[in-house]
Structure 1
Amino acid sequence: MKVTKVAIATSLTILSANCLSAGFLEDAKTSVGARSLYFENDVREAGGADQRQTALGLRADFASGFTEGTVGFGLDVQALTAFNLGGGIDNQSASTVNTVTPVTSDGSPVDTWARLGGNAKFKVSQTELKIGNALMPNLPILVSNNSRVMPQAFEGGILSVKELNGLNLVGGKITDGSSRASSNYSALAVNGGARGSNSFTFIGGDWSPTKDLLLQYYHAELKDYYVQDFAGLVYTYQIMPGHTLKGDLRYFDNGSDGKSGSNGYVFNNAGGFASKPGEVENQTWAAMLTYSFGGHALLLGYQSVSDDGSMVYVNSGSVRDGKNSLEGQGGASVYLFTDVMANTFIRAGENTTFGQYSYDFVANGIPGLKASLIYLKGENIKDRTGNGREYSEWERDMRLDYVIQSGPLKDFGASLMRGNFRTEVPGSQGGADVDQTRLYLNYTYSFK
């Protein structure tokens, strides 16, 4: 974390003489928030873990404005603490997956954990650089996961250039990450990789030539694991007033990098088939159409994973330390429509058809209330042995959200989610039927 500490120390030195200048405090934003989560994950297999757990997370954020001058300086600070209120997976091995809290050496959940982070930021015109350990990118090649009580955070630097209207260029380097269920930072890896890498570099951008069209391209490299190219297109067409049709295309091309496949830099291909075991060889594409009218939204889509191996993304949940223990708890997001509650539908050869219906009750005079139902069916999953056998799996998720719109509890929100996942994939290849329930209670207060 040497670079982060130097950047923040430099920023503080500069700010010590300028912190009262126009912009730094006047444009600052401060908020405090709380999130409680009841998480139930019932693995419907003999000997499967049945996890029922409740946790509470508290979060405070300070984001300054920028000092005056050619180069503006600022500082973001984030403090988080969380408490295990009950439940979990007790007295099992340290390799037991507990996705809500960190675990002790015997695998049982800790009582409390905390994290303090910050970013120094520098701005010239419409170009901004952030360096720190509280980066939470939302990019096609790296998505910060926020599905538990703490958000996933990364350490490194990200440069954003918005000098031309409609064009946003982004580049950066990430060295470490702290997962959604961890207080420490660990090296990076591909999903299922055990050896850490301290270099994830990327460059790309979003271009909107018109208000209805978005074009995207990104190139990324997780050193000694994979290189990745992403291309995306989003187009929104207004059929008539109040009726829109949105198309979204996404394509990933993934290949091995450096030591991939050797010296411990291998991954498990989501437990499935790989034409080059331990290496990365994958192309994944997806297409989605969404028709919206009134409070209704109907989504239909298709996703295809190539036969040579599974889709890859940054997930450090399998990284081991010098004692062969997990450095941090897992949990990550991938920029795919199929990244849902229990599964991601990214196995080699998997072709997934999915549909979702959602309704916003504001059309019925109940603002803040929303409901959705999604169903996904993945087929043609290749057997790990390459014997020609294929499997299928499906998932059905339901969700209900409500946010209070006014009064003393304005912005207090609740989300209830229920998912059912069923698979033919053998347990030896990572398959297991799962029923999952989540209840979130969220509240954030922003100081004026």
Structure 2
Amino acid sequence: MNKSTLALAVAVGVLTQQAGAAGFIEDSKASVSSRTMYYDADMREGASTPGNRQREAGEGLKFDYLSGFTQGTVGFGIDAQALVGIHLDGGKGHHPANSTFIPSDSDGSAVDEWSRLAGNVKARFSKTEAHLGGALQPNMPILIANDSRLLPQTFEGGTLTSKEIDNVTFNVGQLEHAVGRASSNSTGLAVAGGTQDSNKFRYAGADWKVTKDLMLQYYYANLEDYYKQNFLGLVHVYPIAPNQSFKTDLRYFDSSSDGKNGDAGYQFNNNNGFAKERGVVDNKTWNGTFTYTLGGSAFLLGHQRVSDDGGFVFLNQGNVVDGNGRNEGAGGASFYSFTDATVGSFIRAGENTTYGQYSYDFASLGVPGLKASIGYLNGQDIKATSGVGKDLSEHETDARVDYVIQTGALKGFGTTLRHGTYRGNTSTPDQDQTRLIFNYTYSFL
């Protein structure tokens, strides 16, 4: 029994005696979510093999129970989550090895289904909350739980959030394991290229709402034996008129090596790009994004610069494998940048990326729930892996349409269609990717 399951079992026993307490039951929430997804990735090169053409469909089911808190100076509660993934169809020969969409069986084929159960115990004192368990889904500049496939990525550890000071939110925590979006099993933590576990990701930071229109952020993170990272952020919205605004979003990351980083098993692959020192984290990345909103239209323009000595780093367990050499679906990660696109990432050493997007909310035309966007990213000056020779480049065009039914028996049923076209001369193959997603959540508490 892992620590999160044991902690949940103990908490259930303790809280059973207080289950009738006002708040614990009355403030509880429970929901069932369904996500059906068709995923098509065409690598545009070679024969139609699993390595070059992935076409699969699956169903993800998620049950969430969030209790309220017991009465008293310190209130206690529990959160529970059950996840089930079902392989609907992949078409023979269209499931790649080490897929992060649907787990692979021992013979390399897609499994029929996979599942997992996790939970958190929690406590609240004044305006401070602590959570301990294996169903954590952080969303901070230094770590974002990935939720771009059938089931969400989750983490095991402890977190503390405090709002004791007006307009300031403090976040502190330590995470020890992760469960990938296509896995039932947890792994230690690592970065892209790392094969050895680190069981200690520590972070601390704050979001300061200076005014209703201005927020400042600072975070520090340390993945033991891999990297240390500082983040600074600024978000400002300037209201021009009731239906007009101008938003500024500035972000800066400074990442460096920690502990065994660079040794065998603890190397960072620098996103398959150049590194001044092989396997070592050494990076500074900044980006600025500006969005002008007028009615239902939003015009976004931004630029990102990755320093020359190495690529941008973030938590990524994609190379951590089990005793049979499989990653068990542990791969798949998100990071806090507008360049985390449908296909590409645009975060190799030296890369300068300019990006833009136009989006429209059709509520302005009397069709609430319908939104569409189209974006383009162009990355230049990517340093060749050897550090010499011609600089590389890449570009991507993304389109997206979302519709959520607003009334009737299917209220809340959502449909998303995404398409990305990536081209370049980097190690990332040219690719056309399409995702069709149906989402529905039913809340019964």
Instruction: Give the SS at the match of 2:187.
Output: coil
SS of the aligned residue for 2:27 comes to: coil
The C-alpha deviation readout for 1:88-112, integer Å capped at 9, x for no partner, is 684988xx24121111123221110
Q: Distance in 2 between matches of 1:39 and 1:345?
A: 22
2:221 alignment partner, SS class? strand
Structure 2: gaps (5+ residues): none
Residue from 73, 79, 86 that aligns with 2:89: 86
Deviations 1:335-367 (A, max 9, x none): 011001101100111100000000000000000
8 Å contact kept, 1:194–1:319:
yes
Segment of structure 1 superposing worse, 261-270 or 251-260? 261-270
- Residue of structure 2 equivalent to 1:191: 192
Aligned residue for 2:423?
422
Once the two structures are TM-superposed, the CA of residue 267 in structure 1 deviates from its matched residue by 2.0
CA–CA separation in structure 1 for the residues paired with 2:444 and 2:110: 34
Aligned pairs for 1:293-304 (under 5 A) are 293-304=294-305
How many Å apart are 1:46 and its aligned residue? Answer: 2.4
- Once residues 4 and 150 of structure 1 are traced to their aligned partners in structure 2, the CA distance between those partners, rounded to angstroms, is 19
Counterpart check, 1:274 vs 2:275: yes
1:433 aligns with 2:430: yes
Consecutive unaligned residues of structure 1, counting only runs of 5 or more, are none
2:146, 2:152 within 8 Å by CA — same for their partners in 1? yes
When structure 1 is superposed on structure 2, of 131-140 and 179-188 the one drifting more is: 179-188
Q: How does 1:396-407 map to 2 (within 5 A)?
A: 396-407=397-408
- Name the aligned partner's letter for residue 260 of structure 2: K
Question: Quick one: which of 60, 68, 72 aligns to 2:71?
Answer: 68
| 1:92-131 matches, cutoff 5 A | 96-131=97-132
1:18 alignment partner, SS class: coil
Q: Counterpart of 1:148?
A: 149
Report the 3-state secondary structure (helix = DSSP H, G, I; strand = E; otherwise coil) of the residue aligned with 1:15. helix
1:424 deviation in Å?
1.2
**Pairwise CA RMSD of aligned residues?**
1.4
> Do the aligned residues in 1 keep the contact of 2:56 with 2:94 (CA within 8 Å)?
no
Cα pair distance change 1:364/1:130, threshold 3 Å: same
Q: Distance in 1 between matches of 2:202 and 2:93?
A: 38
- TM-superposed CA distance for 1:327, in Å, is 4.4
- When structure 1 is superposed on structure 2, of 12-21 and 68-77 the one drifting more is 12-21
Structure 2 distance, partners of 1:447, 1:319, is 38
Query: How far apart, in 2, do the equivalents of 1:79 and 1:141 lie?
Result: 26
2:82·2:118 contact (CA, 8 Å) conserved in 1? yes
Identity score, percent: 52
Matches within 5 A, 1:206-285: 206-285=207-286
Q: Is the 2:98–2:326 Cα contact (8 Å) retained in structure 1? A: no
Residue of structure 1 equivalent to 2:439: 442
Deviation of 1:13 after TM superposition, in Å, equals 2.8
C-alpha distance in structure 1 between counterparts of 2:210 and 2:433, whole Å:
42
Worse overlay, 321-330 or 380-389: 321-330
Amino acid at match of 2:376: Y
Name the amino acid aligned to 2:58: A
| Alpha-carbon separation, structure 1, partners of 2:92 and 2:39 | 12
TM-score (norm 1): 0.96
CA distance in 2, matches of 1:99, 1:361: 34
In structure 2, give the amino acid aligned to 1:23. G
SS at match of 1:362: helix
Range with bigger deviation, 182-191 or 366-375: 182-191
Query: Is the 1:196–1:320 Cα contact (8 Å) retained in structure 2?
Result: no
2-structure distance, mates of 1:402, 1:283: 38
Q: Does 1:21 align with 2:21?
A: yes
Distance 1:4 1:34 in 2: 25
Aligned residue in 2 for 1:357? 358
Corresponding pairs, count: 442
- Are 1:370 and 2:367 counterparts? no
Which letter does structure 2 place at the counterpart of 1:403? V
Separation in structure 2 between the aligned mates of residue 172 and residue 102 of structure 1, nearest angstrom: 29
User: Within 1, Cα distance between the matches of 2:287 and 2:237?
Assistant: 17
Per the alignment, do residues 98 and 325 of structure 1 end up closer, same or farther by CA in structure 2, a change over 3 Å counting?
closer
